[in-house]
Amino acid sequence: MAKILIIENEDTTRTSLKQILELNDFDVLIASNGIEGIKLAKRALPDLILCDVMMPVLNGHQVLKMLKKRSATATIPFIFLTAKSYQSNIREGMNLGADDYLIKPIKITDLLTCIQTKLQKKELQRQKSEVKLKTLRTNLSRSMPHELNTPLNGIIGLAKILTENSDPEVQELSQGIVESGERLHLTISKILIYTELELAKCSPEESSLIKSARTISTAPLIEVIAEQIAEKAHRKPDLQLKLQPGDISMSSFFFKRLLEELIDNAFKFSENGDAVIIRNHWDHDQMILTVQDHGRGMKPEQIAEVAAYMQFERKIYEQQGMGLGLVIAKYIAELQGGSFKISSQPEVGTAVQIELPLI
């Protein structure tokens, strides 16, 4: 149901317009003056605005000027309502960016036709924007790996050669280049994976997550990845595996990525000596995987706000990364037809549970 805001200081006209539009299945908001109308427009973001030209305090032209200054309201279709005696102001209003005008007394057919035309135009523009955005995202996701990773691999490779130099200072500087390059490589990889998953949400049948599905023996793969991450973090004694054998059908690349993000996150946000427990079990037609740490934990509002590019308490802990890990794991699980759940308590720890269908 389209939402229409009427800004009109004449009670009779305002009430009449409201009744007509509600009878034609529109959701109607009303404002008796320009200031009230601007506040309503900012708060409710209507699909279209009908606004009288001649009003006290703020006239219609001033209302339009103010709404055009804000990106959230600048593109809302805006139709002026004007009396015949003020037709000279029509050109001024159109120059300000109005979409159309209606002359009082307004015919019902003219009103409804004008509104439908503007709403259809707005919907068409929205659809075109979505197509352009999807095309841009697709092109970026396909071109970025080569354009970014190829020169970066060259930088890392040459820097590794320099680490073998006999000069200690050259070794130290080149090692810093290698570490920074590898960190950037990981960041680029996360962004590309996230982009691909966003695209997969729009067209899941075209996603490599679905197309590259194969049978995976879960326990051995979980064990290998968990031990690699624990060793890299110098925390192998903290790792506890409680795994049951079994197979699932999904992309091995994305299953590995899901494991890497969850396990790396558990080690990253817990301290040396804190146990990281990874367990799985089978419940009818799905595998339930749990990765549990005993680290800093999360607040309820943080759990509710798991979103892309958000890293909790960044200013306090100065943790490297962009906060994409949990989002990537969540998207992979959901696109596979599974689910993603977090339970956590501050200063106690966090448990992430993933449910994945067998097929």
Q: Is the pLDDT of residue 258 over 80?
A: yes
Q: pLDDT per residue over 164-205, tens digit each?
A: 888 888 888 989 998 888 888 877 777 778 777 777 776 655
Q: What is the pLDDT of residue 307?
A: 46
Q: What is the pLDDT of residue 188?
A: 79
Q: pLDDT per residue over 53-85, tens digit each?
A: 989 889 999 999 999 888 788 889 999 998 865
Beta-strand pair 286-293/349-357:
antiparallel
Q: Is the pLDDT of residue 322 over 70?
A: no
Do residues 286 and 355 make contact, with C-beta atoms less than 8 angstroms apart? yes
Beta-strand pair 213-217/247-251:
antiparallel
Rounded to an integer, the average pLDDT of 95-121 is: 90
Q: What is the pLDDT of residue 125?
A: 86
Report the alpha-carbon distance of residue 185 to residue 229 in Å, rounded: 17
Q: Is 15 helix (H, G, I), strand (E, B) or coil?
A: helix
Q: Is 263 helix (H, G, I), strand (E, B) or coil?
A: helix
Q: pLDDT per residue over 213-245, tens digit each?
A: 788 999 999 999 999 999 999 999 999 999 999
Confidence of residue 7 (pLDDT cuts 50, 70, 90): very high
Q: Is the pLDDT of residue 144 over 90?
A: no
Rounded to an integer, the average pLDDT of 110-139 is: 84
Report the alpha-carbon distance of residue 182 to residue 40 in Å, rounded: 50
Do residues 174 and 159 make contact, with C-beta atoms less than 8 angstroms apart? yes
Q: Is the pLDDT of residue 131 over 50?
A: yes
Do residues 91 and 120 make contact, with C-beta atoms less than 8 angstroms apart? no
- Choice among 1-15, 87-101, 107-121 with the minimum mean pLDDT: 87-101
Rounded to an integer, the average pLDDT of 21-50 is: 94
Q: Is the pLDDT of residue 5 over 60?
A: yes
- Choice among 97-101, 168-172, 206-210, 309-313 with the minimum mean pLDDT: 309-313
Element holding 289 (H helix, E strand): strand 286-293
What mean pLDDT value characterizes the chain? 84
